[in-house]
Amino acid sequence: TQLLEQSPQFLSIQEGENLTVYCNSSSVFSSLQWYRQEPGEGPVLLVTVVTGGEVKKLKRLTFQFGDARKDSSLHITAAQPGDTGLYLCAGAWGNEKLTFGTGTRLTIIP
């Protein structure tokens, strides 16, 4: 079973600060996705990365896929209360099922 460990598990920071969330595995992925989930709702796709070393930016969010395609990071600049939520990474091998990470629960304090 391939495992995806996310760190930190919980993070609470002040509005305006920067933060990084990590997603690590011992397995190589063909693609990795990041999702954000709010309470009582389904996850919403933020980004997909497929190439080792790839960096993608989505406004204040920067996603990076590790060179070896075993890990990924999500960096948020100038966090806002609307960024609060559960952030999940998910890895896939080929066009197969996703394995979800353990999750990072982010709270931005106004």
Partner 1 sequence: GAVVSQHPSRVICKSGTSVKIECRSLDFQATTMFWYRQFPKQSLMLMATSNEGSKATYEQGVEKDKFLINHASLTLSTLTVTSAHPEDSSFYICSARLASLYEQYFGPGTRLTVT
Binding site for partner 1 (CB under 8 A): 30-31, 33, 35, 40-45, 48, 50, 88, 92, 95, 97-103, 105
8 A C-beta contact, residue 50 and residue 65: yes
Q: Which is nearer to partner 1, 40 or 82 (CB)?
A: 40
Least distance from partner 1 to the Cβ atom of residue 23, Å = 11
Dihedral angle at the C-alpha atoms of 73, 109, 86, 80, nearest 10 degrees?
Answer: -60
Least distance from partner 1 to the Cβ atom of residue 87, Å = 10
Least distance from partner 1 to the Cβ atom of residue 103, Å = 4
